[in-house]
Amino acid sequence: MANMKNAKWVVKSHPEADLSEDNFDLIYDEVPEPDAGQVLIKTKTLVITPPLRMAVGSGGITGSVVPVGDMMRGTGQGEIIVSNHPDFSVGDVVSGAFGWQEYSISDGKKPFPIEKIEARAGQPLNTTMHIMGASGATAYIGFYDLAKPKPGDIVLVSAAAGTVGSIVCQLAKHSGCKVIGIAGNQVKCDFLVNELGIDGAINYKNSDVAEELKALCPKGIDIYFDNVGGEILDHALDIIRPRARVILCGATSQYEADGSWYGPKNYFNLVYREAIMQGFYIFNYRDRFPDAYRRLSDLINQGALKYNEDILDGIESVPSALVQVLSGENFGTQLVNVSQES
Ligand SMILES: NC(=O)c1ccc[n+]([C@@H]2O[C@H](COP(=O)([O-])OP(=O)(O)OC[C@H]3O[C@@H](n4cnc5c(N)ncnc54)[C@H](OP(=O)(O)O)[C@@H]3O)[C@@H](O)[C@H]2O)c1
């Protein structure tokens, strides 16, 4: 498009340890003209989540590693600004894997599929990027369908102040469970107890997690909803009760480990305590999404389910947003408003 520049982030280097902004370069190229059957999308918002770290490291569940010099992967919402496609109109809001850039082209399926987005169950459109989207479904389905809570169960949740974790904590309270959360600073721990009403919180960065767990859960735990893996998973396995359910949702503590993942040492407790440890991948449960969204929306409308967004502005902020997510400096779902002020 004449006189229009597209700012995009490319991978400059693969980090040897912790990710930094220096691992990316901001470059500018021409905004392409869409051909017949294609649309031009202007990125509105990018969602920044922990597994993105694997795109510049181990590959992991997000697939192959982005080569140096290529644009960084990323998903979000965008607006169609030119349409040569019969199924899409100018002004449609779509979701897709646009990458870390301001403008992108798609034919609806390639180089990435796009899907028209509408508000779900009456909630604001932005919530389709978290509580009324895959993260909300992950919390709801992972907790109700897989962990199968019973009133009185003792539930432990890691990354408890994060997008998925904070929803699980609240669902567990609504289900009559005792809930203990693990988070990375005191503000988050206070929020979990004072705002979300859970029964206790552990700051894993400044305490002995194993000792704190024994103090807060002297009878052990019935459910562990694991978002972080690593040593915290091991501490949880140490205190599982008979027939406990350990639900493997994520392993954020390992996404920077690049191949040398920490494996659990206490897994043998699963055997004589007849407990289960089960992983799940949310996109294999799509048929359950509508039910999850309806129920989550009902709880939001009743004032019984809260969520936070942590929003940075501008394409320039995208790498620092990912660094922030990996260091735990964010508070709530990390979004970057690429083409609108928050
Ligand atoms: N199975 C599935 O289908 C599925 C679907 C969606 C998400 N997931 C996974 O679920 C997990 C949670 O996802 P989310 O989107 O809700 O992310 P999130 O929990 O909101 O992620 C950000 C938080 O992760 C915590 N964190 C960062 N580095 C950490 C580390 N080294 N050790 C422990 N905690 C760390 C930080 O909180 P603190 O300040 O508390 O450290 C940070 O604020 C992720 O692992 C994600 O990959 C899985």
Per-residue pLDDT reduced to its tens digit, 114-166: 999 999 999 999 999 999 999 999 999 999 999 999 999 999 999 999 999 99
- The residue among 247 and 16 whose pLDDT is bigger is 247
Structure confidence by residue, pLDDT tens digits, 248-305:
999 999 998 877 889 999 999 999 999 999 999 999 999 999 999 999 999 999 999 9
Q: Are 12 and 25 in contact (CB under 8 A)?
A: yes
pLDDT at 342 over 60: no
1 falls in which pLDDT band (50, 70, 90)? confident
What is the pLDDT, as a whole number, of residue 17? 85
Mutate which of 164, 189, 225 for ligand 1? The one with the most ligand atoms within 8 Å of its CB, which is 164
CB of 185 sitting under 6 A from ligand 1: yes
Percent of the chain whose pLDDT exceeds 90: 94
| CATH 3.90.180.10, the chain: domain bounds | 5-118+308-337
81 Cα–ligand 1 center, Å: 33
Distance CA 301, CA 159 (A): 25
Distance CA 46, CA 101 (A): 9
Q: Which atom of ligand 1 is nearest to the CA of 283?
A: 3
| Mean predicted confidence (pLDDT) in 81-103 | 97
Please state, rounded to an integer, the average pLDDT across all residues of the chain.
95
Residues 6+ apart with CB under 8 A from 16: none
Sign of the CA dihedral running 336, 109, 289, 54: negative
CATH number of the domain at 134-301, out of 3.40.50.280, 1.10.1040.10, 3.40.190.10, 3.40.50.720? 3.40.50.720
| CATH 3.40.50.720, the chain: domain bounds | 134-301
Q: Are 230 and 254 in contact (CB under 8 A)?
A: yes
pLDDT at 341 over 70: no
Mutate which of 189, 192, 252, 326 for ligand 1? The one with the most ligand atoms within 8 Å of its CB, which is 252
Residue 38's region, left for phi above 0, alpha for psi from -120 to 50, else beta, is beta
256 Cα–ligand 1 center, Å: 12
Structure confidence by residue, pLDDT tens digits, 187-211:
999 999 999 999 999 999 999 999 9
Q: What is the CATH number of domain 5-118+308-337?
A: 3.90.180.10
CB of 142 sitting under 6 A from ligand 1: no
Element (H, E) at 16: none
61 falls in which pLDDT band (50, 70, 90)? low
